[in-house]
Amino acid sequence: MQSIPDPGRLVLRARLALALIAMMPAAAIGQPAVPPLGPATGLEPIPNGDLAAGLEGWSQVGPTMTLLGGPLIEAGDNTTVVGPAFTVPAGAQALPLVLGVPGSNALLDISARPVDGGPGIPLATLAPDRAVRSVDVPIAPARGRAVRVVIDPVSSLGRRVYVRSIGPPVQVLPGWDVRRGLPVVVTRWGRRGLDVRDARLEATTAPFSPRARTAFVGVSVRGRGTVRASLRGRTARASAKAGAWTTLRFPVPKGARGIRIAFTAVPAPGERIMVAGIGAPAPRTTPRPAPRGGRS
């Protein structure tokens, strides 16, 4: 004989479950145990950044700039391309540019020119591919300001430059505060983290709440360069090593919620550094150094 469940008991259990959820701290529900690395979020597009309205809003400094089919801007004779005006969103961290430079050894200076005047804001110096491809430049130094992106050939008299689009700005690490540099999320050496090369990266993680009984959280580095990190007044520094991971450890105060780790990663000249395991549980003791002879 099959029993029939009592609807009253089901309702009571549901109410008890909702009551328990309501009693949990909001931070424990809304914040992850480890700062997430993405997913990246596209922000508001740049007006006519995709050339859908032709050259409206675009300008040039120099003799030649032509709109080709595609659409695609072709600039030559050392012409500087100036994009449409837009306000950089507060959370913007990267700005995609789709461009290319036929020929080799060509450089482009990318900067943001404030609409209200004042000095330009340097963003990056690129050595683009010959083919038209997408490349990201850091945009955090200009966030909150109305600017025009300037694409300026460096020592390239007679060199052609192709520009397909600018933007939209991207928040690579939602909830993080990126103050300097370009955050690039990659998987390398079996771990997912941030690949830092060419220039320093200064960032603070999104708030996170370590799981119960987590005694230490860390920041792991590998490659060639240095990392300095801090958590609630405690600061640690490490030199990245080729062929082995080095982990900075920070004690977690009991019941800590909504904590953030700030760090600065500086690659050695011509090298790169990988920063991974940011905010992940770390061992209570410092691991023994790996034997020498490992490969980077």
pLDDT confidence of residue 198: 83
pLDDT confidence of residue 219: 97
Burial readout 246-263 (b: 16 or more C-beta within 10 A, e: otherwise): bbbbbebeeebeebbbeb
pLDDT confidence of residue 9: 40
pLDDT confidence of residue 91: 93
Q: What does the alpha-carbon distance between residue 201 and residue 131 come to, in Å, rounded to a whole number?
A: 28
Answer with the residue of higher pLDDT: 290 or 243: 243
pLDDT confidence of residue 139: 97
Q: What does the alpha-carbon distance between residue 4 and residue 2 come to, in Å, rounded to a whole number?
A: 7
Given a cut of 80, is residue 228 above it in pLDDT?
yes
Q: Are 97 and 134 within 8 A, CB to CB?
A: yes
Domain ranges across the chain:
30-39+173-281, 46-167
Burial readout 220-233 (b: 16 or more C-beta within 10 A, e: otherwise): bbbbbbbbbbbbee
Which amino acid appears at position 167 of this protein? G
Q: Which CATH number fits domain 30-39+173-281: 3.20.80.10, 3.40.50.10260, 2.60.120.260, 3.40.50.1700?
A: 2.60.120.260
Same topology between domain 30-39+173-281 and domain 46-167: yes
CA atoms in the 13 A half-sphere facing the CB of 210: 24
Answer with the residue of higher pLDDT: 243 or 18: 243
pLDDT confidence of residue 39: 94
Given a cut of 70, is residue 158 above it in pLDDT?
no
Given a cut of 60, is residue 218 above it in pLDDT?
yes
Average pLDDT, the chain: 86
Torsions phi, psi of 22, nearest 5?
A: -65, -30
Of the pLDDT bands very low, low, confident and very high (cuts 50, 70, 90), residue 155 is low
Burial readout 69-96 (b: 16 or more C-beta within 10 A, e: otherwise): eeebbbbbebbbbbbbbbbbbebbbbbb
pLDDT confidence of residue 87: 98
CATH number of 46-167: 2.60.120.430
Given a cut of 80, is residue 217 above it in pLDDT?
yes
Q: What is the pLDDT of residues 13-53, one digit of tens each?
A: 433 333 333 334 434 457 899 999 989 999 999 999 999 99
Mean pLDDT confidence for 266-281: 95
Of the pLDDT bands very low, low, confident and very high (cuts 50, 70, 90), residue 157 is low
Mean pLDDT confidence for 68-90: 94
pLDDT confidence of residue 76: 87
Given a cut of 50, is residue 101 above it in pLDDT?
yes
Instruction: Compute CA distances 245 → 30, 181, 197, 221, whole Å.
Output: 31, 22, 17, 6
Mean pLDDT confidence for 216-238: 96
pLDDT confidence of residue 102: 83
Given a cut of 90, is residue 255 above it in pLDDT?
no
Q: What does the alpha-carbon distance between residue 32 and residue 58 come to, in Å, rounded to a whole number?
A: 42
pTM attached to this predicted model: 0.82
pLDDT confidence of residue 103: 72
